[in-house]
Amino acid sequence: MAKLMWGIGIGGLTIVLAAGCGDWLANQTKKDPNSVIGKTTDKVEKFDANAKQEVSDSKVRVDATPLYALQAYRPMVENISKMQIKHEVDLFQATEGRYPKDHDEFMTRIIKPGIRLPVLPGGWKYAYDVENHELQVVKADTAAKK
């Protein structure tokens, strides 16, 4: 009889805990509206080498052990996006025998037909460098705005 009571007690406790976890799991699927995870964009500005801006070198720098993944997210996304655009620009050059002549042609012939890039966190944006035929990641210089 004692074994039966223990079995019922443990079974009941398992059901109660599982029901409570169900609510927790359901709440985990709700997305934060401020999160950039899973969001995409087709906005690529024209790169201006003379503008007051910070240009990312896309290197992963990690200084806090618990935050490795968060600190590596933007540089990894940048590198993947740059590789994708390099591939598309190389395909354009191979088929046309030239690179896009300007930012407008880059946007209409490469980006607008269906390229969606991941949204970057922290105010970073994509910019196409027409002279070097490559994607850059830039952030407006906040010191210059003050």
Q: What is the pLDDT of residues 52-106, one digit of tens each?
A: 988 888 888 877 777 777 778 888 899 999 999 999 999 999 999 999 999 999 9
Instruction: Identify the residue whose tokens are 């995870």.
Output: 37
| Confidence at residue 57, expressed as pLDDT on a 0 to 100 scale | 84
What is the pTM assigned to this prediction? 0.70
Token digits of residue 96: 């046309």
Average pLDDT over residues 22-28: 57
CA distance 17 to 15: 6
> Using only C-alpha atoms, what is the Rg of the chain?
24
| Confidence at residue 38, expressed as pLDDT on a 0 to 100 scale | 79
| Confidence at residue 39, expressed as pLDDT on a 0 to 100 scale | 87
| Confidence at residue 146, expressed as pLDDT on a 0 to 100 scale | 44
Any idea where the domains of the chain sit in the sequence?
1-30, 40-145
| Confidence at residue 140, expressed as pLDDT on a 0 to 100 scale | 78
